[in-house]
Amino acid sequence: MEATPVDTVKILEKKERLDWYYDEEADVLYLSLGKPRKAAGVDLSQGVVVRYDEKKKEVVGLTILGIRARLIESLGK
């Protein structure tokens, strides 16, 4: 049976340091597994982007756009 791309994606396979940076002006939260590095962005929609190392076939981070606005909206409901 041939592996599909989903079968080969490594998600949180290793315990690594979690790095984060919040850009207040842009209202964007960047999360990196281990040291931040170049990666492809895969848009999951609604302002969530998974950062993916295509060579190693693993998730290396997450970007969340408009996180403060989302939180304020959710708390106001």
Number of structural domains in the chain: 1
Q: What is the pLDDT of residues 24-37, one digit of tens each?
A: 999 999 999 888 88
Q: Which domain holds residue 41?
A: 5-76
pLDDT digits (tens, 9 = 90+) for 37-51: 889 999 999 999 999
pLDDT for the residue numbered 15: 65
Closest CA to 16 of 31, 39, 40, 35: 35
Helices and strands in the chain, H and E counts:
2, 5
